[in-house]
Structure 1
Amino acid sequence: MPLGLIALAIGAFGIGLTEFVIMGLLPDVAADFAVSEAAAGWLISGYALSVVVGALGLTAATIRLPRKPVLVGLLVLFIVGNSLTAIASTYEVAMLGRVIAALCHGAFFGIGSVVAADMVPANKQAGAIAIMFTGLTAANVLGVPFGTLLGQHSGWRSTFWAISGIGVLALVGILALVPAIRHVAEGISLRQEIGAFTSLQVWLSLGVTILGYGGMFGAFTYIAYTLTEITGFNATTVPWLLMLFGVGLFAGNWIGGRMADKSIDRTLLFFISALLVVLVLFGFFAGNQVATVLALLFMGGFGFGTVPGLQSRIMHYAGDAPTLASGANIGAFNVGNALGAWAGGLGIAAGLGYTSPIWIGALITLVALLVIVLAMILAKKASVASPQLVAAG
């Protein structure tokens, strides 16, 4: 395994931690700034939407630059943003820090996915991407629970100082372990990268990403409230329950990467279908502690098992110009994150209770399932009509 994949995983760990840890600290942040649950949720949605801007804008702006210095610069931006959040005296300053940190997110994962894929043979590319995203899942297994625990005992700001420190460690890892390889996008113009978006399959892939991820995060964004208000867990147990969700992410990412190397579309169909079943069952049995524990584990596993396949799918259909499409797909993950947080917040604000985000997430996931089925049908028809076109399934 190339050591550069470890470096990318270290960066993914830090970025994943800053994205997800705030979910377990949302009640503390809301109380500190004296804002509502829905307003605090915008620290998640605002981050997610800013990821989209960075995924497209920064990726496009750096498309012809050497990738290693770009990754280093993105991590510097990450450190600055999290430090600003840690010292924020107002909600608005905290939001600014979240936005700055988020700008690096999409470009890092988008460029990093291409770099990871270039390090290995074609038949191992989904697995290489999964290794990079292992950092993201490790952030959930270890980082989020302990980050939540740290925030509950030493104040939520201490968690963001710790994240800044991890950012520094990730920066050193990128400098030391990622090789300064020849820029593979040399000779590919921004026009060619934008041209990848003329493919209907690229747009369908983005749609599946938005809806599939949106379904999972529709249920998960307000999970701290569901666990304490509906299931009856004590707030001190939330970090350990989040660890179970993280274990699911880790397992799903690992299994999904290996399955996607064999068949991308069939892997996506399986995981999205399974996620829908889990969310429906979770909605019915959220008041049962045993059922909730199992639901958290499988929601993470089936939800994140789609990630290597989704990233590989859009790169497959983008052809020889995958960098901007890869970045756009990272942005799409976070549009889904924002969609889920917004839709779940609407359910709570409408007085539908803390199980409403779960049902809203299930509905969004159902639409994702319909879109991937449509994409598979169209891809099969296209490959029959033009044998030179290879479907992702």
Structure 2
Amino acid sequence: MITMSSATSSSNSHADSRFRLPLSALLALAFAGFLTLLTETIPAGMLTQISTGLAVSEAFAGQFVTLYAIGTVLTAIPLISMTRAWPRRHLLLAALTGLLLFNSITALTSNYELALVSRFFAGVAGGVMWGMLAGYARRMVPEHLKGRALAIAGLGSPLALSLGVPLGAWLSQSIGWRFTFAAISLLTIIAIVWVLWRLPNYAGQSTQDKPVSIAMVLANPSLRMVFYVLILWILAHNILYTYIVPYLSPMGLAAQADVVLLIFGVASIAGVWLSGIFIDRMLGRLVFLNLLLFAIAMLCFATLQAQPMLILIAVAIWGLSLGAAPVLLQTACAEAAGAHADVAQSMLVTVWNLALAVGGIVGGVLLQKVGAYSFPWAMLGLLALALVLVQLSKHYAFIKAVNATD
């Protein structure tokens, strides 16, 4: 005999299986994420033009990137915690409006100090946006499609990472750096209209809920394991990515650095696509597989430096791994954090940026003290530790995949 509850469950399951992904809404989130990360990375491609326009050195112009990162790192966690009760679309629109305002100020000002202040607050807006995008995307779909939805909403990240610097270099030569920031502002207006048109609004958490502290969220061992793996993965990546040109120079590939980065970017997009197909069924295995692919690529980098074509293949494998990393780690973070997902995502953004910064520092020290050839070996050590942690995490992180496949 079929009970009413089992009939209802069957009906819900059938409805879920026929659910169509809200592609337009998810792509609106992807576009917002793209603009956020583009705002962060694009100055690196036009430092000469910025330094000339503001009458400062290129080193000072480089602080456009630094101040944005500082704004994100310092404010993402407290602001996401403070705005938990805000309706989600209102918060996203506030972040996009902040991005629009501060990019516009950067485009118009001739005052270097004001430009830096604008970059800091653009980073604040970016941190808020990245802290909420994953939770927003996952709320739009049933349980069995949450990973795929996040993969679509995360498409903006690899696109901005691969296009940001070369796009900045090209646009600054074509229309100037001020008009480049103005163009981003124009695109942000389009994003605001798109969000208003297509995105559903969701309530924030009740103001009567107990405030969520960092210590409370970090008490979750599953979440800590995700952060440990994230630190090792992204730190290893940025050791090489920051200093890719010095590494390529002995192989005669420095002049083709733009081609190398293009291969990396295209492979990153492929990594997002592939992870979106399989993530809801095998999260843990995908994390392990992508870390293993990254390690294999670094082994090629370490031992095949006399074979430039094989190095380019290794670059593609590296890009495939890194492209999958954000969606895999964000999904694992959301799965582990549960009701505290937005606060946990803001912590993930902060940890991610700190890992990037530390990777750049470690890479610089290795370059000065040992040489660029040491990068792959140092990265292999970090990746080996990350692989061990994933294998040990069966009772902590990546629980969903373990239960489904073990």
Fold shared, TM-score > 0.5 on shorter chain: yes
Give the whole-Å Cα distance in 2 for the aligned partners of 1:366 and 1:48.
27
Matches within 5 A, 1:1-393: 1-2=21-22, 3-25=24-46, 33-36=56-59, 43-87=64-108, 89=110, 93-140=114-161, 144-183=165-204, 188-191=209-212, 195-224=216-245, 226=247, 231-234=252-255, 238-285=257-304, 289-348=308-367, 350=368, 352-353=370-371, 355=372, 359-360=374-375, 363-364=378-379, 366-371=381-386, 373-380=388-395, 390=399, 392-393=401-402
Distance 1:55 1:299 in 2: 28
Change (3 A) 1:107 1:283: farther
Structure-1 separation of matches of 2:154 and 2:360: 22
Contact 2:225 2:393 in 1 (8 A): no
Q: Distance in 1 between matches of 2:62 and 2:300?
A: 25
Deviates more, 1:186-195 or 1:47-56: 186-195
Shift, 1:187, TM fit: 5.7
- Does the Cα contact within 8 Å between 1:141 and 1:250 map onto a contact in 2? no
- Per-residue deviation, residues 202-231 of structure 1 (Å, max 9, x unmatched): 112112212212221221123355556863
Q: 1:226 to 1:153 in 2, by over 3 A?
A: farther
TM-score by length of 1: 0.83
Q: Do 2:229 and 2:390's aligned partners in 1 also have CA atoms closer than 8 Å?
A: no
CA separation of 1:57 and 1:248: change in aligned 2, threshold 3 A: same
- Structure 2: runs of 5 or more not aligned: 1-20
Amino acid at match of 2:153: M
Change (3 A) 1:141 1:345: closer
- Cα deviation, 1:256-308, whole Å, max 9, x if unaligned, reads 23332122222111111211221342355567653453343322211121221
The one-character-per-residue Cα deviations of 1:309-356 (angstroms, maximum 9, x if unpaired) are 1111111111222110022112222122212222223344x2655x36
Q: 1:262 and 1:67, CA in 2 relative to 1: closer, same or farther beyond 3 A?
A: same
Q: Distance in 1 between matches of 2:265 and 2:271?
A: 10
- 8 Å Cα contact 1:224-1:238 kept in structure 2: yes
1:169 Cα offset (Å): 1.9
Q: What's the C-alpha RMSD, in Å, of the aligned pairs?
A: 3.2
Q: State whether residues 211 and 367 of structure 1, in contact with CA within 8 Å, keep that contact through their aligned partners in structure 2.
A: yes
Classify 1:365/1:182 alpha carbon distance in 2 versus 1 (closer, same or farther; 3 Å).
Answer: farther
Verify the 8 A CA contact 1:116 1:132 in the aligned structure 2. yes
* Code of the aligned partner of 1:74: A
Instruction: Name the SS of the counterpart of 2:84 in structure 1.
Output: coil
Q: 1:269 to 1:392 in 2, by over 3 A?
A: same
Q: How many residues get paired?
A: 379
Deviation track 1:225-267 (CA, whole Å, cap 9, x = no partner) reads: 5556863444xx6545433222111111111233321222221
The CA deviation string for residues 174-197 of structure 1, in whole angstroms up to 9 with x for no partner, is 122111234466764323786332
Give the match's secondary structure for 1:262: coil
Matched AA of 2:339: D
Q: Which residue in the other structure is 2:5 paired with?
A: none
Percent of aligned pairs sharing the same letter: 26
- SS of the residue corresponding to residue 86 of structure 2 reads coil
Letter in 1 for 2:359: G
Which piece of structure 1 moves more, 24-33 or 254-263? 24-33
Question: What letter is aligned with 1:71?
Answer: L
Q: Which amino acid aligns with 1:282?
A: F
* Matched residue type, 1:374: L
Per the TM alignment, residue 106 of structure 1 is displaced from its structure 2 partner at its CA by 2.6
1:84 and 1:97 in contact (8 A); partners too: yes
Q: Which amino acid aligns with 1:100?
A: F
Q: What SS does the aligned partner of 1:191 have?
A: coil
Q: Secondary structure at the match of 2:340?
A: coil
Q: Aligned partners of 2:195, 2:97: CA distance in 1, in Å?
A: 12
